[in-house]
Amino acid sequence: MFDGNWRETVEKGVDPVGAALQRLGMSADVLTTIGIAMAAASAVIIGSGRLFLGFIAMLAAGIPDLLDGAVAKASGATSKRGAFFDSTSDRLSDVLVFGGIAWYLDSNEPGRISILPFAVMGAALITSYVRAKGELLGYDAKGGIMERAERFILISVGLVFSSILIPVLWVMLVLSSVTIMQRFAKVWKQATVEKRAAAAAPS
């Protein structure tokens, strides 16, 4: 939801910062790499049990991810390669953070609750896959109640208020599952219309 409604506004806001960084010689690929390293650091911090500090680190890791596109735009170097690298780094960063949360829960909570972050991570990856595959086939697969921005917000709430971390993860799992179904249904509907139109067309 936030990705669709706020992305353009946010991008316009960071464009001047991206232009300034580009003038200083910073490249989009370097920023993306820094973001991955910072996400890995935040995962280690979260896994060690310092959840609020992990939240701060995760917030900081989001800054390079926010700015790499603006730097690429300012340099006139936007490319499919850069988009591929950025998208892959987003998935990797998600896996690292969820891995840190699983590490923390395995060390501090009884039973098998540490599996829960991996379930949320799996749902998040399927959500991204449905969009990627749908768009590859030429369909609009964006949207849904739990996109990456919403995941970031809910994880932040869980880290800041650690007593509700597990309930937050359950909410994320449910809403991510709903998002998968929303995106699947959206693509399925478009594909069905296309199939019927092709069948009705004169040979």
Residue 5 in this model has a pLDDT that exceeds 70? no
Helix (H, G, I), strand (E, B) or coil at 201: coil
List phi, psi (to 5°) of 133. -70, -40
Q: Which of 101, 116, 30, 97 is nearest to 65 (CA)?
A: 30
Whether 65 and 90 have beta carbons less than 8 Å apart is answered as yes
Q: Which of 129, 126, 127 is nearest to 146 (CA)?
A: 127
What length does the chain have?
A: 203
Q: Which of 23-32, 82-91, 163-172 has the lowest mean pLDDT?
A: 23-32
At 30-68, the pLDDT tens digits run: 889 999 999 999 999 999 999 999 999 999 998 888 887
Q: Which residues are tagged catalytic?
A: 90
At 102-125, the pLDDT tens digits run: 999 999 998 899 999 999 999 999
pTM above 0.85, yes or no: yes
Domain 2-189, what fold?
A: Four Helix Bundle (Hemerythrin (Met), subunit A) (1.20.120)
- Domain regions of the chain by residue span: 2-189
